[in-house]
Amino acid sequence: MTASDRPVRPRHAASLVLVRRSARRLEVLMGRRPVKSRFAPDVYVFPGGRLDRADWATAAARPLDPASVRRSAAPPAMAEALAAAALRETAEETGLILPADHAALTLMARAITPTNSPIRFHARFFLADWDEAHGRHADSHELTDLAFRPLDEVAQLPLMDVTEAVLAGLAKLEQGRLEPFLFTYRRGRAHIRALD
């Protein structure tokens, strides 16, 4: 195997799955990635992005709960930096500011891009409640058509398979069950495994 045949090492990333209850149903904030994006163009996603060096220095009012740290498959300091990245990316992409209170976040999923992808991520998906957010959400150069959408309507949008899996997790949450999971690929097929 040559160096060019080896899979690209996944970069650490984080997304925020921001939910609100409206008329007794759950809605989630999603936006559409630009058509010219190098990774996942023209699909609807949750706000998020790569872990930056500055995320390591962000102080949290309260740390993540131990279960979220464990599920992150990262050392505690990195888990906190990933939570900070999810909050920072949400502010950058949507204009919504959430307090740096990592205890208000719950890690609901991890996902690792397939080994044959030229751009790979090891993403953590943090669940947060809309009640914690300040400001108004607005489109950005990274996400357009940004809106809170009912879960039953999101399935009609162009989505990545990992996004579909997170939305299925939200449907379970709507029924009162949080079932954190790891989303990976085996022999080219999506594979989901429970984290707890």
Residue 108 tokens, joined: 């609901």
Cα-based distances in Å from 131 to 18, 50, 77, 170, 177:
9, 25, 26, 17, 20
CATH number at residue 189: 3.90.79.10
Answer whether residue 1 is part of any domain.
no
Model confidence pTM above 0.85: yes
For 115, the domain range is 12-194
Give the 3-state secondary structure of 12-51.
EEEEEEEEEEECCEEEEEEEECCCCCCCCCCCEECCEEEC
Answer whether residue 74 is part of any domain.
yes
Answer whether residue 125 is part of any domain.
yes
Answer whether residue 6 is part of any domain.
no
Answer whether residue 3 is part of any domain.
no
Answer whether residue 4 is part of any domain.
no
Answer whether residue 71 is part of any domain.
yes
Answer whether residue 7 is part of any domain.
no
Domain count, the chain: 1
pLDDT, one tens digit for every residue, the chain (196 residues): 555 678 899 999 999 999 998 777 899 999 999 888 777 778 999 999 999 999 999 999 999 999 999 999 999 999 999 999 999 999 999 999 999 999 999 999 999 999 988 999 999 999 999 988 999 998 898 999 999 999 999 989 999 999 999 999 999 998 889 999 999 999 889 999 999 8
